[in-house]
Structure 1
């Protein structure tokens, strides 16, 4: 007798009303959410592969903008885009499809991350999941967009260091350029998610606004260090374009946490004063 194929092991365990789960249930929950996210990422990769030529042209636009800037600021500079290696076109296509699938599936995996981190929340507190997704997704996409927009200026800054005393042709490898661009977009997207993580930690009671205020100077300094270390283009313009928004977003997150702590304090005082 043929054995029936079952995919029940892929289903997540049921969360008890009190939110307490065993280690095995947590691991099964993690397996489910990782596999579910990977399926949607692969579907996003397939969509990018179908429209690969259009996506490729879109990703090449920052270089075209940077070339226009260079033609005005340094008209004597000679540049040429090249693609070297037999396997380079394939590896480049895989990288573009992978990052594109990650971006397209960001609403799915962002929600899965949140849903796994806060399984122990009460039902009335889980309403923050929708708020988390509605804020995290625009911030992530905004960071990706900023990374895309600042790249031309960063390229022009870096290319301006080419010496003019000797005739030199800058050979720009398109695969290295697009790899740099994809890394920059992902770094900006993830960097813009920092305030969501901070506010989420405050909502579940992990950190307080007073603690954030004490650490503000160190966090802002860390934002600039992160901006300098994480931006693959290494130019000061890209570093500031990442560090300044991250610092402002952290301050905004601190203000939100302060209002939330005051709301919790008023609610606790009202409950104590109630007969």
Structure 2
């Protein structure tokens, strides 16, 4: 396909994706009231614990409430229309892939969507505890009037951070299948991966109890090791094919050599 045709196809797919975002944002506008009520529930819970109304959202400007509604509607639109704009991306990339690569891409997309949603659900579960702890530093008798847009930004970053963290195994497997990241590399770095997972959980869920941190870190670690198993199985399958064809293994050892030592087998 010539460059001009590629650009025309890209423009068409971007237009359809943007149209889907607009439709999703319109649905998000309609869902704004119940969603905003759910966003306020952690703050209301803190206010009930304190027995006062000194923890609440503050709309500082005249147009802040309208701007807030626009941002929430667009954020909901991105989530609601994600199958549509992901399909548009897929439809643009597909013509340049082989049949086998298309099957891999479908599998990656099918795994990425539920993992991302699982991460966002875990973030929503951890949100009340984080809000309760962070607002707990408010001095006695003082009011904590939280800027509405600042609070929305905090919630969105928390949700996106957890969603992207749960996409780690998909990225690992994709790099492995592309020949960029070998299973041996992921296996050597498993200690760092576990450490990073617990640090991430401690930072993103700043609660005084260790149970919440463990509940967040353990699923991330399990996903890492599940992806590692898939990478190991894939590398072994590739090594068998290369040995059958008389080619060196992925680690550079030749057929007839021991992969662990690099010396010839008896």
**Pairwise same-fold verdict (TM > 0.5):** yes
| Residue 174 (1) aligns with residue 148 (2) | yes
| Residue pair 2:21, 2:78 contacting (<8 A) in 1 also | yes
TM-superposition CA deviations, 1:86-107 (whole Å, max 9, x none): 0101111111012111111222
User: 5 Å matches for 1:151-166?
Assistant: 151-164=127-140
Give the RMSD, CA atoms, in angstroms. 3.4
| Residue pair 1:110, 1:137 contacting (<8 A) in 2 also | no
How far apart are residue 46 of structure 1 and its match?
Answer: 1.3
Distance across 2 between alignment mates of 1:139 and 1:40:
22
| Residue pair 2:13, 2:88 contacting (<8 A) in 1 also | yes
How far apart are residue 261 of structure 1 and its match?
Answer: 1.5
| Residue 143 (1) aligns with residue 123 (2) | no
Q: Using a 3 Å threshold, how does the CA distance of structure 1 residues 267 and 61 change in structure 2: closer, same or farther? A: farther
TM-superposition CA deviations, 1:158-209 (whole Å, max 9, x none): 1222233xx2122233333223212211221122112111111212222210
Q: Using a 3 Å threshold, how does the CA distance of structure 1 residues 224 and 195 change in structure 2: closer, same or farther? A: same
User: 5 Å matches for 1:1-275?
Assistant: 14=1, 31-68=11-48, 71=49, 74-75=50-51, 78-112=54-88, 120-164=96-140, 167-223=141-197, 231=204, 244-270=218-244
Aligned length: 245
Distance across 2 between alignment mates of 1:114 and 1:207:
23
Distance across 1 between alignment mates of 2:93 and 2:213:
30
TM-superposition CA deviations, 1:132-178 (whole Å, max 9, x none): 122111111111111112111001111222233xx212223333322
How far apart are residue 241 of structure 1 and its match?
Answer: 6.4
| Residue pair 2:115, 2:166 contacting (<8 A) in 1 also | yes
2:55 counterpart SS class: strand
Where relative contact order (Cα < 8 A, 6+ residues apart) is larger, the structure is: 1
TM-score using structure 2 length: 0.75
- Unaligned stretches of 5+ residues in structure 2: 247-266
TM-score using structure 1 length: 0.73
